């Protein structure tokens, strides 16, 4: 049975409620209301016109209940992964109204004594989407699958790697392929209804988790596997997760997702990588593991004028001689058509060459 | 109170009992016996002449008890981190003899129902060294410390990164510096009596764990911090841990530890990186995060003749124009003296440059 979500995004729906936006844009479950007093009275698409589905924005859980939700979705993923203290009351209100609680936070809500006791009393449940299953170490079995694997990588966190992956799958399906999206983060898992939050896996097993996800997609008959990347390869805090996906998925090709307006990694004194440097460092890292080329650049030109976006796309094309586009602004079909010839199967480089 | 260890290394002491070798060579606790029926009757130094301390090798736990141990140390760290099935009986024997169990395995022995019940019945305890504490996300605070940070990186797992780190600390201390070893793996933690097995930390927090370790060493007044690296940057399974240490420790300099006889990553179709490529990929990755150069190469020429070892050292020197030596074969002092002038403090590159 599918869920009917009320999404909790207190004072954040218009800004950084990435989970909310992803589920409203790409999810298969219904969203019946968004809870955010700072935008109450408007509709979700009035605030964010690009959303595919719409829902009323209400002030609190009590008001949301009028729209008949079956579950409360925690609609944000703040740094550190904790539940904002001022959100606890709303979660308790939802539990007492017997809504299922669905959370992609690092903090395990089902382990919170107060939430657990309340959920037991109300006979409802808490689903912590990020809790990873047990996975084996990376085995190399992924090298033997037939479907090409495309991994998105980015110049920063939260630049649209999941969105680009989903748009590419949509375009590939429209072109007749059995393409499959592989979710690796909490929003992707919520959107797709399966997957693993790889950032939550014990570091030694992160590449193994990525491999298992690709093997699963292959076992379901996909002829093109598009993996949502995480972080950025020069991110001081999250680069390890980025690299675990690069080695674990054993991609045949990469698409670089970049927001050209992000010159610095958020909260750190680290510049984002220019296009050419980003391409070089990703390709060099994979060269001895499973060679893969960056076959295109998907720009996130959110907030730029059409003219400025087109100019940046041209600049990136001239610099890199690769297909470049903004898949949200201009649709994914032209970009997919441009990269499709490069989506071919590669094999690991053979070992044993003298040093 | 310090421990008196019996080390469990069934049929593996002569080969891959890395934990046993590290504790016997560098640990501050006594080792009173090694349990390995395949070498029983000999002494540890008869099997491995390079060990600093010696102990009798015995056939089983019962025989080890004659030497008065207070603890049983699991002396190996197999792939996957589980306890070999055939070792369970020996662990139970030790618990029943009221020895403390000390384990660096991934598998949490204290969570094993049979072991836990036996330990409670015998009123002894199980210390799982790998269980990491809660750590914060990487903050960047590490950029502000005054002591230079040296990180060892390797061309493969198990090539001697811990050993080289410990030897460099020894040489630096002999030269009058307040050098400190920072342990990041189970053997290092056992040797030093503190630290975190970074490979066991949730991936998102692995860089934060590395940062906390360096901050702790700095707070203890170290004027040179030498961090034990893990894995290899092109290791299909473990590269993520390698990179977490690189970004999380924010090193000022790297030493490449390489076994020239390892042409392939164990169990994977991946060639190890030649010296020049390894230097380039590590330096390029850190260039935008916290620039650091590889300032020397510590070779592991185990099993080679002196002449062959010297020839390889000369070859590496000629190729890279860096100080190169085998610190175990020829002692750490000349190499330390050669790299000491390069152990200076760097700062992160400033962000904000246009792409």
Q: What is the 3-state secondary structure (H, E, C) of A34-89?
A: EECHHHCCCEHHHHCCCCCCCCEEECCHHHHHHHCCCEEEECCCCCCCCCCHHHHH
Whether residue B351 is predicted with pLDDT greater than 80 in this model: the reply is no
Q: Which of B138, B199, B203 sits opposite A236 (nearest CB)?
A: B138
Could you give the percent of chain B with pLDDT greater than 90?
79
Structure pTM? 0.86
Is A108 in the B-facing interface, judged by CB distances under 8 Å?
Answer: no
Minimal-distance CA residue of chain B relative to A236: B247
ipTM value, please give it. 0.85
Neighbours of B113 (CB within 10 A): 7
Contact list in A for residue B248 (CB cut-off 8 A) is 236
What pLDDT score was predicted for residue A16?
78
Average pLDDT over every residue of B17-24: 84
At residue A351, the pLDDT reads 58
Kindly list the residues from chain B whose CB atom is less than 8 angstroms away from the CB atom of residue A138. Answer: 236-237
What CATH code would you report for A141-342? 3.40.50.300
Question: Would you call B346 an interface residue with chain A, using a CB distance cutoff of 8 Å?
Answer: no
Segment holding A121, helix H or strand E: helix A113-122
Q: Write out the H or E segment, with its range, that includes residue A181.
A: strand A179-182
Residues of B with Cβ-Cβ distance to A199 under 8 angstroms: 202-204
Write the DSSP symbol of residue A292. -
CB-closest option in A244, A281, A352 to B271: A352
Among the partner-chain residues B202, B207, B277, the one whose CB lies closest to the CB of A236 is B207
**Chain A partners within 8 Å of B268 (Cβ):** 140, 351
Average pLDDT over residues B327-335: 97
Q: Is B40 exposed, middle or buried (0-12, 13-18, 19+ CB in 10 A)?
A: middle
B280 to A275: CB separation less than 8 angstroms, yes or no: no
Whole-number Å distance between alpha carbons of B290 and B346: 8
Closest chain A residue by Cα to residue B237: A138
Could you give the maximum distance between any two Cα atoms of chain A, in Å? Answer: 70
For A348, which residue in chain B has the nearest alpha carbon?
A: B269
| Close Cβ partners of A309 (under 8 Å, ≥ 6 residues apart) | A299, A301, A326, A329
C-beta neighbour count of A141 within 10 angstroms: 14
Token duo for residue B78: 């197999």
C-alpha dihedral (A275, A277, A281, A282), degrees to nearest 10: 10
Q: Which of A106, A240, A268 shows the shortest C-beta gap to B243?
A: A240
pLDDT of residue A220: 94
Closest partner residue to A349 (CB to CB) among B239, B271, B290 is B271
Taking an 8 Å cut-off on Cβ atoms, the answer to whether A350 and B208 are in contact is no
Q: Judging by beta carbons within 10 Å of its beta carbon (0-12, 13-18, 19+), is residue A196 exposed, middle or buried?
A: buried
Q: What contacts B196, CB < 8 A, 6 or more positions away?
A: B132, B133, B135, B183, B184, B189, B209, B212, B213
- Map out the domains of chain B as residue ranges: 4-128, 141-342
Mutate to test the interface with A, among B135, B197, B240, B278 (most CBs of A within 10 A): B240
Q: Decide: B338 and B330 in contact? Cβ < 8 Å.
A: no
Is the pLDDT confidence value at B213 over 70? yes
Q: CB neighbours (10 Å) of residue A75?
A: 32
Q: Which CATH architecture has domain B4-128?
A: 3-Layer(aba) Sandwich (3.40)
Q: Rg for chain A (alpha carbons), in Å?
A: 20
A272 interfaces chain B, CB cutoff of 8 Å: yes
Nearest CB to B350: which of A203, A236, A269? A269
Chain B closest-CA separation from residue A39 CA (Å): 31
> Does A203 contact B199 at a Cβ distance shorter than 8 Å?
yes
Which residue on chain A is closest to B265 by alpha carbon? A351
User: pLDDT > 70: what percent of chain B?
Assistant: 97
CB pairs under 8 A between A and B: 190
Measured distance CA(A89)–CA(A70) in Å, rounded: 18
Q: Which helix (H) or strand (E) holds A101?
A: strand A100-103
**A269 with B79: Cβ contact below 8 A:** no
Q: Does B324 touch chain A (CB under 8 A)?
A: no
Contact: B208, A237; criterion CB under 8 Å:
yes
Three-state SS across chain B?
A: CCCEEEEECCCCCCCCCHHHHHHHHHCCCEEEEEECHHHCCCEHHHHCCCCCCCCEEECCHHHHHHHCCCEEEECCCCCCCCCCHHHHHHHHHHHHCCCEEEECCCCCHHHCHHHHHHHHHHCCCEEECCCCCCCCCCCCHHHHCCCCEEEEEECCCCCCHHHHHHHHHHHHHHCCCCEEEECCCHHHHHHHCCCCCHHHCEHHHHHHHHHHHHHHHHHCCCCEEEECCCCCCCCCCCHHHHHHHHHHHCCCEEEEEECCCCCECCCCCCECCCHHHHHHHHHHHHCCCCCCEEEEEEECCCCCCHHHHHHHHHHHHHHHCCCEECHHHHCCHHHHHHHHHHCCCCCCCCCCCCC
Please identify among residues 7-66 of chain B the ones whose CB lies closer than 8 Å to any CB of chain A: none
The residue among B77, B236, B263 with the most chain A CBs within 10 A of its CB, best to mutate, is B236
- pLDDT band at B259, cuts 50/70/90? very high
- Integer Cα distance of A159 and A169 in angstroms: 18
Give the DSSP H or E segment for A219.
helix A206-219
Q: Which residues of A touch B247 (CB under 8 A)?
A: 235-237, 239-240
Say if A136 is an interface residue toward chain B (CB within 8 Å): yes
pLDDT score for B355 = 38
Structure tokens at A71: 């579950």
pLDDT at site A353? 43
SS3 A299: strand
> Nearest residue on chain A to B79, judged by CA atoms?
A137
Find chain B residues with C-beta within 8 A of A136's C-beta.
Answer: 80
Is B351 within 8 Å of A270 when comparing Cβ atoms?
Answer: yes
Q: Which structure tokens are listed for A82?
A: 């904790």
Please report the residues numbered 281 through 320 in chain A whose beta carbons come closer than 8 angstroms to any beta carbon of chain B: 281, 284-285, 288-290
CB-based contact B289 A234, cutoff 8 Å: yes
Could B140 and A267 be called an inter-chain contact, meaning their C-beta atoms sit closer than 8 Å? yes
B202–A203 CB contact, under 8 Å: yes
Are A270 and B281 within 8 A, CB to CB?
no
Instruction: Report the distance separating Cα B52 and Cα B40, nearest Å.
Output: 19
Is residue A66 within 8 A of residue A89, CB to CB? The reply is: no
Nearest neighbour of B354 by CB, restricted to A208, A263, A349? A263
* Residue-level pLDDT, tens digit, chain A, 355 residues: 688 999 999 888 888 787 888 888 888 789 999 999 999 999 999 999 888 889 999 999 999 999 999 999 998 877 677 888 889 999 999 999 999 999 988 789 999 999 999 999 999 999 898 889 899 999 999 999 999 999 999 999 999 999 999 999 999 999 999 999 999 998 899 888 789 999 999 999 999 999 999 999 999 999 999 999 999 999 999 999 999 999 999 999 999 999 999 999 999 999 999 999 999 999 999 999 999 999 999 999 999 999 999 999 999 999 999 999 999 999 999 999 999 999 989 878 665 444 3
Asked if residue A88 lies in contact with residue A109, where contact means CB atoms within 8 angstroms, the answer is no
Provide, as residue numbers in chain B, all residues whose Cβ is less than 8 Å from the Cβ of A248. Answer: 236
Q: Is the pLDDT of residue B198 over 90?
A: yes
Chain A environment of B186 (Cβ under 8 Å): none
Q: What is the mean pLDDT of the segment spanning B275-283?
A: 97
Pair A76, A82: CB distance under 8 Å:
no
Contact B240 A233 (CB under 8 A): no
* CB-nearest partner of A355 from B204, B260, B348: B260
Cβ contact (<8 Å) for B198 and A198? no
Using a CB-CB cut-off of 8 Å, the residues of chain A touching B137 are: 79-80, 237
- Cβ neighbour number for residue B264 with a 10 Å cutoff: 15
- pLDDT tens digit sequence for B79-126: 777 888 889 999 999 999 999 999 988 789 999 999 999 999 999 999
Q: Which DSSP category does A348 fall into?
A: P
- Would an 8 Å CB–CB cutoff place A227 in contact with chain B? no
CB atoms within 10 A of CB A275: 22
Asked if B208 and B138 touch (Cβ cutoff 8 Å), the reply is yes
Say which residues have a Cβ less than 8 Å from residue B316's Cβ, sequence separation at least 6: B258, B260, B275, B297, B299, B322, B324
Could you tell me if B202 lies within 8 Å of chain A, comparing CB atoms?
yes
Write down the mean pLDDT value for chain B.
93
Nearest Cα to Cα of residue B346 among A269, A354, A346, A256: A269
């Amino acid at each position: 049975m599918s869920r009917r979500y009320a999404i909790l995004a207190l004072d954040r729906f218009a800004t950084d409620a990435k989970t909310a936006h992803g589920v409203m844009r790409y999810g298969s479950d219904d969203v019946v209301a968004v809870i955010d007093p700072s935008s109450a009275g408007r509709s979700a698409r009035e605030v964010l016109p690009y959303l595919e589905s719409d829902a009323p924005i209400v002030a609190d859980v009590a008001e949301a209940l009028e729209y008949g939700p079956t579950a409360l979705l925690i609609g944000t993923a703040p740094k550190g992964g904790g539940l904002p203290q001022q959100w606890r009351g709303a979660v308790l209100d939802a539990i007492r109204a017997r809504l299922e609680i669905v959370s992609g936070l690092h903090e395990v809500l089902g382990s919170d004594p107060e939430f657990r006791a309340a959920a037991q009393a109300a006979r409802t449940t808490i689903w912590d989407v990020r809790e990873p299953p047990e996975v084996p170490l990376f085995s190399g079995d992924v090298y033997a699958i037939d479907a090409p694997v495309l991994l998105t990588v980015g110049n920063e966190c939260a630049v649209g790697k999941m969105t680009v992956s989903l748009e590419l799958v949509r375009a590939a399906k429209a072109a007749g392929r059995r393409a499959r999206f592989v979710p690796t983060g909490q929003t992707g898992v919520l959107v797709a209804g399966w997957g693993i939050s790889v950032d939550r896996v014990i570091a030694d097993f992160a590449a193994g988790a990525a491999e298992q996800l690709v093997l699963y997609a292959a076992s379901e008959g996909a002829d093109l596997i598009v993996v949502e990347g995480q972080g950025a390869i020069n991110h001081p805090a999250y680069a390890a997760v980025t690299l675990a996906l690069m080695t674990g998925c054993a991609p045949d090709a990469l698409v670089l997702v970049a927001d050209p307006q992000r010159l610095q990694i958020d909260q750190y004194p680290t510049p984002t990588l220019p296009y050419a440097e980003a391409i070089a460092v990703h390709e060099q890292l994979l060269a001895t593991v499973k060679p893969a080329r960056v076959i295109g650049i998907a720009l996130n030109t959110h907030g730029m004028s059409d003219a400025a976006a087109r100019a940046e796309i041209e600049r990136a094309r001239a610099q890199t001689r690769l297909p470049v586009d903004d898949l949200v602004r201009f649709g994914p079909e032209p970009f997919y058509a441009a990269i499709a010839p490069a989506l071919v199967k590669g094999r690991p480089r053979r070992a044993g060459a003298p040093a």
